Amino acid sequence: MTKHLIQVINPNTNVAMTHTIAQAARSVAAPSSEIIAVCPTQGVESIEGHFDEAIAAIGVLEQIKRGKEQGVSGHVIACFGDPGLLAARELANGPVIGIAEAAMHAATMVATRFSIVTTLPRTVIIARHLLRQYGFEHHCAALHAIDLPVLALEDGTGLAQMKVRERCIQAMKEDNSGAIVLGCGGMANLARELTAELGIPVIDGVTAAVKMVESLIALGLGTSKYGDLAYPNKKPLSGCFDMLS
């Protein structure tokens, strides 16, 4: 069987989180898919604001270029801010899906309204921007923060995971939402158990994006190279950006 390589990019440089994301991606991947999980060689350890996202986007582009050279069929950007998504689509020929858009799309297909549970309050604002950009504002009942930084999910204490669980339960009751979207790549391993416990769909974008990329590949659909997502216009890239040329 020829395997399709699917590149799952953790845009932050944290190796433990890349492992969590890789495990979640492999848990749903089809036998015909091989997951290549990577993170940038340089960048930020966690992405919690616009500054972090700008740096992470460069790392995403570096990995998209590498993935293309390896012959991957599709890419997932596994950070809830979807950093560098449209730029990545310009570089790629296969499909590129961000985990925020994947989770939001999935949520609208299984519930009328959803709530988002993310990490820090400032990432709530970023998620709200994405809802507006993707046209899902009217589907989102409310956004919640566990008020812990992203890397608390990897500190081994289980505190962040406990707070995610509590917030999901609270969101379900307070917002009367039919589904919950988990707002961080580091929460990817929590969705299945929470779905069973809460009795409503709790959606992780990593697993959703892997299945969506697989579907697009199976349909023979790649990123359009007509219009704004055409390959970037050729021009010299100076300094450290030479790696992208």
| Strand blocks (E) in 170-221 | 179-183, 202-204
Q: Quick check: 161 binds ligand 2AL (CB under 6 A)?
A: no
Q: Rounded to whole angstroms, how far apart are CA atoms 12 and 84?
A: 12
Q: Which residues contact 15 (CB under 8 A, 6 or more apart)?
A: 39
User: How many residues sit close enough to ligand 2AL to count as binding (CB under 6 A)?
Assistant: 15
Q: Quick check: 74 binds ligand 2AL (CB under 6 A)?
A: no
User: Which of the stretches 73-81, 88-96, 211-219, 223-231 binds ligand 2AL when contact is defined by CB under 6 A?
Assistant: 73-81
Phi, psi of 98 (to 5 degrees): -90, 150
Q: How far is the CB of 102 from ligand 2AL (least distance, A)?
A: 12
Q: Quick check: 81 binds ligand 2AL (CB under 6 A)?
A: yes
Q: Quick check: 123 binds ligand 2AL (CB under 6 A)?
A: yes
Q: Quick check: 150 binds ligand 2AL (CB under 6 A)?
A: yes
Q: Identity (one letter) of the amino acid at 36?
A: I
Site string for ligand 2AL, 23-52 (x = CB under 6 A): -----------------------xxx----
Q: Rounded to whole angstroms, how far apart are CA atoms 211 and 28?
A: 7
Q: Rounded to whole angstroms, how far apart are CA atoms 25 and 132?
A: 27
- In the complex, the residues that contact ligand 2AL under the rule CB under 6 A are 12, 46-48, 79-81, 118-119, 123, 150, 183-186
